[in-house]
């Protein structure tokens, strides 16, 4: 067994760590305050060839592996959770379904501009009455004269304001008395398509989270992504990969909170000594370090299994569940170690706590991850 990163992964880590420290972290507090999408950061990431990182070079990608994608997502999230989720959704929700299920023509037309950074990737699954129970989709796509006519609503969709097109799920018919759900690629400037960006969120203020309204939106039937009726299966596969991204995001936010806590514990003096001299504080820091190490190993393992072409669905759920739960514990304890200052925005750790909460909710809540893991365990 080898726990070392490859030389290519090491190089990507070095590049993204420097980039995150120099370009992403400095403005994170202001972007959070001003709800400012990090568009300039992503232009620079496109110049570095990072926007299509895990996709083949023939589609404008960098041909890197999933471990590298996890490394980039972790480092961005360590600097700014909003930048981290934007990147993770761009790659694993926007690009991945096109790469996995698209025709060659669809990949050239829709995946290439995602990889070059010309557009952001997004994915429309969740609806007001279909969250954890994503099969409860109500959006419909009715076939007529060679077109799909789409009507419905999606909620909480990441990146859609900055996406020129996105894949969304809709009911395309009925088979054996069951709803037939398919994925369809829809241009966001199509007539009848509204992207609304006015949620007031707890955290991730610099990320773009939108509501989609589709009223008689017409797209040619060639916009079907993958096979008709396989939309449900396709999004389960897409989410497996996405969970590695959210796991990495959680590790990055936890790491940022831990680093701030260590620094503060060394600097802050009470009772004539620095906080780091108190065993109660040392034990908190030791637990943080141990849990982050374990969560990162779990993320890397799930990513590695995916890269080997092996089954990774259970490990993706496990890494997402564990990393998101320790992220909440660690950000909470980082605020605690900062005392009253931790409650103040300028000290960053309260932002980490607000941003981190999403990792327990997005791409399947912790309860859903436990359902997925239990299903894997019990089906053997």
Ligand X SMILES: Cc1cc2nc3c(=O)[nH]c(=O)nc-3n(C[C@H](O)[C@H](O)[C@H](O)COP(=O)(O)OP(=O)(O)OC[C@H]3O[C@@H](n4cnc5c(N)ncnc54)[C@H](O)[C@@H]3O)c2cc1C
The binding site for ligand X (CB under 6 A) comprises: 89, 93, 123-126, 131-132, 156-158, 204, 209, 358, 361-365, 367-368
Which H/E stretch holds residue 78? helix 66-79
Smaller CB separation from ligand X, 199 or 283: 199
Smaller CB separation from ligand X, 66 or 92: 92
Question: What are the backbone angles phi and psi of residue 219, rounded to the nearest 5°?
Answer: -135, 145
Contacts of 99 (CB under 8 A, 6+ apart): 55, 59, 107, 111
DSSP summary character for residue 6? P
* Beta carbon of residue 194, minimum distance to ligand X (angstroms, whole number): 16
* Beta carbon of residue 138, minimum distance to ligand X (angstroms, whole number): 13
- Rounded-to-integer distance, Cα 24 and Cα 41, Å: 7
Q: Which residue is nearest to ligand X (CB)?
A: 131
Smaller CB separation from ligand X, 95 or 342: 95
Smaller CB separation from ligand X, 5 or 237: 237
* Beta carbon of residue 59, minimum distance to ligand X (angstroms, whole number): 21
Q: Within 13 Å of residue 221, how many CA atoms lie on the same side as its CB? A: 9
Instruction: Check the CA dihedral 234-187-211-72 and report its sign.
Output: positive
Return the structure tokens found at 258. Answer: 């831990």
* Beta carbon of residue 262, minimum distance to ligand X (angstroms, whole number): 29
* Beta carbon of residue 364, minimum distance to ligand X (angstroms, whole number): 6
Smaller CB separation from ligand X, 204 or 295: 204
Contacts of 158 (CB under 8 A, 6+ apart): 85, 86, 89, 93, 122, 123, 207, 208, 209, 210
How far, CA to CA in Å, does 49 sit from each of 61, 108, 230?
A: 7, 17, 32
> Which position among 74, 315, 350, 363 bears the catalytic label?
363
- Is 230 noted as a catalytic residue in this protein? no
3 state SS of 178:
strand
Catalytic residue IDs: 363
């Amino acid at each position: 067994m080898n726990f070392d990163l490859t030389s290519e992964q090491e190089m990507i880590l070095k590049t993204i760590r420097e980039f995150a420290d120099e370009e992403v972290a400095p403005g994170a507090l202001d972007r959070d305050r001003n709800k400012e999408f990090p568009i300039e950061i992503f232009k620079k990431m496109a110049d570095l060839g990072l926007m299509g990182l895990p996709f083949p070079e023939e589609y404008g990608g960098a041909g890197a592996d999933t471990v590298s994608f996890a490394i980039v997502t972790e480092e961005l999230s360590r600097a700014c959770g909003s930048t981290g989720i934007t990147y993770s959704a761009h790659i694993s929700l926007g690009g991945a379904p096109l790469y996995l299920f698209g025709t060659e023509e669809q990949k050239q037309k829709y995946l290439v501009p995602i990889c070059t950074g010309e557009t952001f990737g997004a994915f429309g699954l969740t609806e007001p009455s279909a969250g954890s129970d994503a099969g409860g989709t109500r959006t419909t796509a009715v076939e007529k004269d060679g077109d799909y006519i789409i009507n419905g609503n999606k909620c909480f969709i990441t990146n859609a304001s900055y996406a020129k097109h996105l894949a969304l799920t809709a009911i395309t018919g009925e088979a054996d008395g069951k709803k037939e759900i398919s994925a369809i690629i829809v241009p966001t400037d199509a007539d009848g398509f509204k992207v609304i960006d006015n949620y007031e969120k707890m955290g991730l203020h610099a990320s773009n989270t939108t509501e989609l309204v589709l009223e008689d939106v017409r797209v040619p039937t060639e916009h079907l992504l993958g096979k008709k009726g396989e939309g449900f299966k396709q999004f389960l596969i897409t989410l497996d990969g996405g969970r590695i991204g959210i796991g990495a995001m959680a590790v990055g936010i936890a790491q940022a909170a831990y680093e701030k806590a260590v620094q503060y514990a060394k600097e802050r003096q009470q009772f004539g000594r620095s906080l780091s001299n108190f065993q109660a504080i040392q034990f908190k820091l030791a637990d943080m370090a141990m849990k982050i190490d374990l969560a990162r190993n779990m993320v890397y393992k799930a990513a590695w299994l995916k890269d080997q072409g092996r089954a990774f669905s259970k490990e993706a759920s496990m890494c997402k569940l564990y990393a998101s739960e320790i992220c909440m514990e660690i950000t909470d304890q980082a605020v605690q170690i900062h005392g009253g200052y931790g409650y103040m925005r300028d000290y960053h750790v309260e932002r980490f706590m607000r941003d981190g909460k999403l990792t327990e909710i997005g791409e399947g809540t912790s309860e859903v991850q436990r359902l997925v893991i239990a299903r894997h365990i019990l089906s053997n």
